Amino acid sequence: MVRGVLGKPIFDLVPYLDLRPLPGIHDEVCIGLTRITDNEYTGGSHRSMGIMPERLEAEALTDYGEIIADMSDEDFLVLGAMSDTPQLWDLERRETVTFGEERDVLLNQRQMRWLEVRHGVYFPWKTYVELMPGGRWDEKANPKGKAFTREALALFPKTCAFIRALPFTSIGSVKLLGLQPHDHGTVHRDRDGQKALHVDHFVTFCPGKNKRLFVYDEETDTRHVATTEAYWFNDADYHGVLADPFFRYSFRVDGTFTPEFLARVERSAAP
């Protein structure tokens, strides 16, 4: 079952936001992405994180959580030597430490690239730029200690200005998520659906208007595809991205919406 936002699997935000800057932002982003120095990958372990619907688990292809758990001690040491914290890649403690996103020890880009080329790991999002690093997933709306990076301010000034003007009282995370041609975004949920009593506040916008994110209904095997360039969904619902034969990206901005904005969308969504 899809929980949705205000009765919709995907809540269209186009009527509520001033999106006139998006064409200029798209030009800025396409140039900026040729110049960034800290691009990373993300995803790649949704199955081993246990956040996928059972019937779609095969779509995760090769999962690095499984690969790291099963690899030889020799490979584990090779991977650990590439780390920014090699002392944490200790054979003696291998069974008690977890590696990767939302786990004890993060992977760096060099390690992810090696997992990709040596072990065939599938990383769905091969362009991942944190314009405002959000920390762990449960801290993504908390603004404490958060700021746009110097690189974001230098390369994406129009984007940062647009984000600052969104209807948030505070922002805790800004991410750009891009997929290579033909890649799909593995279906997962960001939070446990059972525990998600409220809908987290965030805006997704897609300046290129060409990324087909969808919310997935496990019961009916239905994909509700986003059709507009700005929207909100319940991230405790399963969601993914359809494959397309070209690069596409979107931004996700997490924070706390203003009471005025919430009142406006609730008013308009009321029957």
Which positions lie near Fe ion, rule CB under 5 A? 190
How many C-beta atoms surround the C-beta of residue 184 within 10 A? 16
- Output 59 or 190, the one with its CB closest to Fe ion: 190
Phi, psi of 215 (to 5 degrees): -100, 135
Q: How far is the CB of 77 from Fe ion (least distance, A)?
A: 32
The Cα 66–Cα 195 span in angstroms is 26
Q: How far is the CB of 85 from Fe ion (least distance, A)?
A: 26
- Output 151 or 217, the one with its CB closest to Fe ion: 217
Q: How far is the CB of 189 from Fe ion (least distance, A)?
A: 7
- Output 54 or 74, the one with its CB closest to Fe ion: 54
How many C-beta atoms surround the C-beta of residue 165 within 10 A? 11
Selection from 51, 44, 63, 173 nearest residue 101 by Cα: 44
Q: How far is the CB of 110 from Fe ion (least distance, A)?
A: 24
Nearest residue to Fe ion, scored by beta-carbon proximity = 190
- For residue 162, give every residue at least 6 positions away whose Cβ sits within 8 Å of its Cβ, in sequence order, or none: 21, 22, 25
Q: How far is the CB of 116 from Fe ion (least distance, A)?
A: 20
- Output 180 or 258, the one with its CB closest to Fe ion: 180
How many C-beta atoms surround the C-beta of residue 170 within 10 A? 15
Q: How far is the CB of 181 from Fe ion (least distance, A)?
A: 21
The Cα 216–Cα 120 span in angstroms is 26
- Output 3 or 264, the one with its CB closest to Fe ion: 3
The Cα 89–Cα 95 span in angstroms is 11
- Output 32 or 185, the one with its CB closest to Fe ion: 185
Q: How far is the CB of 177 from Fe ion (least distance, A)?
A: 9
Which helix (DSSP H) or strand (DSSP E) does residue 41 occupy?
strand 40-42
Tell me which DSSP letter residue 55 carries.
G
- Output 190 or 200, the one with its CB closest to Fe ion: 190
The Cα 89–Cα 11 span in angstroms is 43
> Do residues 260 and 7 make contact, with C-beta atoms less than 8 angstroms apart?
no
Task: Name the token pair of 23.
Answer: 């064409």
Phi, psi of 219 (to 5 degrees): -65, -45
